[in-house]
Amino acid sequence: MTPPAEADAGVDWEALRAVAREAMTRAYAPYSGYPVGVAALVDDGRTVSGCNVENASYGIGLCAECGLVSELARTGGGRLTHFTCVDGRGEILVPCGRCRQLLYEFGGPELLLETPAGILPLSQMLPQAFGPDHLNR
């Protein structure tokens, strides 16, 4: 696994955050009033983004990360390498536990996340994660 400092070299986190902020402006959050936007870099150089989409039946709303992963698949797949998430004020936000698991599936433990505490690998945000390798045993 590449150390976080090396994998982070040359990444323009402010530009990635700007994409997340743009995505956040498209959020559909009439019930909570809590729009969220996300953006990530893909191993082939693409940038993908997503926003949350709520539903009157609260439990079936979609987190922004769901939209991001859908966009990843729609545009050719690949592995996520760098990820950021912002709230309605454009401030850095960490993904919920469910979304960390979703990100693990498409980025793995080495995916770098921008957090209020700095850049951290997903392995620190979701220690001892369950993943596809567990199903192959």
Task: State the catalytic residues.
Answer: 65
Q: In the chain, what is the greatest distance between 2 CA atoms, to the nearest angstrom?
A: 44
* Residue 17 vs residues 1, 130, 133: alpha-carbon distances, Å: 25, 28, 31
Torsion of CA 120, 126, 127, 131, to 10 degrees: -120
Structure tokens at 134: 């567990």
Cβ neighbours of residue 32 under 8 Å, at least 6 residues apart? 54
